[in-house]
Structure 1
Amino acid sequence: MTINSKINPKVEEFLSKAQKWQDEYEQLRNIVLNCGLTEEFKWMHPCYTFEEKNIVLIHGFKEYCALLFPKGALLKDPNGILIQQTENVQQGRQIRFNNVQEIVALEAILKAYIYEAIEVEKAGLKVIKKETSDFTIPEEFQKNLDENPALKAAFETLTPGRQRAYIFYFAQPKQSKTRESRVEKYIPQILNGKGLND
């Protein structure tokens, strides 16, 4: 462990209470701390920063534990191990693990990715996010927008994030009929200026 790395008591508590992935968390923590990052506890997870910029988090899920790089989309990924959790995630990328042996085997590669993530922050790089206009509005919703000027006006006054949430939600079903019923269900909510989860 490097000298400038401080153990964060909140992370200690998190690790001591972890019911799953405890050994994996410890292994990931050691690797990250060896890269000279500051250990913090954010969003209920161990978070490692460089000059107050988030570099990597340790996450646990039912099926796997992971290192999450908040700006992982900017990493080169020569080993093809970064995973985009869902198609809607624009920035973050994960490296997933099922056991300590996988982590140990990848230690040198993980450090290289962490150092690259630090360089991304030093360079001040930012992920260029898609604008709402870059997303394709499902045909079933577009038809309603074209036929109902009040709906179109209400939709356009929503925040970009709320607009994208509706577009993603309406586009998910494979069948047109299901997309149509989703659109119909949420028209009143859009007209009331509310987002999908408001």
Structure 2
Amino acid sequence: MSQQDARIDAYIRKSASFAQPVLEHMRALVHKACPEVEETIKWGMPYFTYKGQLFCCFAAFKAHCSFIFWKGALMDDPDNIFQQRGENGMGQLGKITSLKDLPSDRTFIKYLKAAATLSTSDLPPATKKAAPVKKALEVPDWLLSAIKKNKKAWATFDAFSYSNKKEYVDWIVSAKTDATRDSRLADALTWMAEGKIRNWKYVK
């Protein structure tokens, strides 16, 4: 077995009693699958690197352990051992509470070897897509003021999605005359006070 990091020894000792044999076993399998592995601590968790690249880690929590393949989202899962994809706190193997929750040693080692190989490829670890930035809808002050004066209409408008708000705003603002605009505004306030979208008449 390659050299071990004393900090991981300490991490395991400080873990809950149920977690210690699980962590020790996973650690041993990592070294068995990849003799060139190096141990380290990152972000307070035991990590394993292969040829300078992160490829897996594990962690112990109050009631479970987790094991994470660094590029797990890119790995094949021929034996269906992954309970979820991606790199997150739970890990691809889900909540591990005992050795019985782990795949067989043979299967685990096969996946570890695949993960080590993948870690040195040019493929980056899959990352979560950034949440789209919400667009800021431009609402004329006079219109915003009119809607806010009607508490029920404002509550509906404020809770609307961007598209629902935009439909009302565009419809009112696009009026060609003041009379048409005022008429549309009156209708809009009535409908929104009733919790209705702009084209509620066409919704079955």
Query: Which of residues 7, 10, 28 is equivalent to 2:7?
Result: 10
What one-letter code is carried by the residue in structure 1 that aligns with 2:5? N
1:71–1:91: 8 Å Cα contact kept in structure 2?
A: yes
Q: Deviations over 1:74-119 (max 9, x none)?
A: 000112222447xxxx54552132212333x521111111111111
1:147 aligns with 2:138: yes
Q: 1:148 to 1:41 in 2, by over 3 A?
A: farther
Tell me, which stretches of 5 or more residues in structure 2 are unaligned? Answer: 141-155, 163-204
Secondary structure of the structure 1 residue equivalent to 2:93? strand
Q: Deviations over 1:132-180 (max 9, x none)?
A: 4xx567xxx55xx22359xxxxxxxxxxxxxxxxxxxxxxxxxxx8x93
Q: Name the count of aligned residue pairs.
A: 139
What one-letter code is carried by the residue in structure 1 that aligns with 2:159? E
1:118 aligns with 2:116: yes
Query: Which of residues 20, 23, 31 is equivalent to 2:21?
Result: 23
What one-letter code is carried by the residue in structure 2 that aligns with 1:61? F
Shift of 1:129: 4.5
How do 1:95-174 and structure 2 match up within 5 A? 95-96=93-94, 97-103=96-102, 105-127=103-125, 129=127, 132=130, 142=135, 145-147=136-138
Distance in 2, matches of 1:100 and 1:128, equals 28
2:50–2:116: 8 Å Cα contact kept in structure 1?
A: yes
Q: In the alignment, which residue of structure 2 is the partner of 1:180?
A: 159
Tell me, which stretches of 5 or more residues in structure 1 are unaligned? Answer: 150-176, 184-198
Query: Which of residues 30, 33, 46 is equivalent to 2:31?
Result: 33
What one-letter code is carried by the residue in structure 2 that aligns with 1:69? F
Larger radius of gyration: 2
Q: 1:19 to 1:74 in 2, by over 3 A?
A: same
Percent identity for Structure 1 against Structure 2 = 22
Shift of 1:66: 1.7
Distance in 1, matches of 2:65 and 2:129, equals 31
TM-score w.r.t. the length of structure 2 is 0.57
TM-score w.r.t. the length of structure 1 is 0.59
Measured on the aligned residues, the alpha-carbon RMSD in Å equals 3.0
Q: 1:80 to 1:63 in 2, by over 3 A?
A: farther
Shift of 1:60: 1.8
2:84–2:93: 8 Å Cα contact kept in structure 1?
A: no
Q: 1:180 to 1:7 in 2, by over 3 A?
A: same
Distance in 2, matches of 1:17 and 1:128, equals 31
Q: 1:40 to 1:128 in 2, by over 3 A?
A: closer
Secondary structure of the structure 1 residue equivalent to 2:79? coil
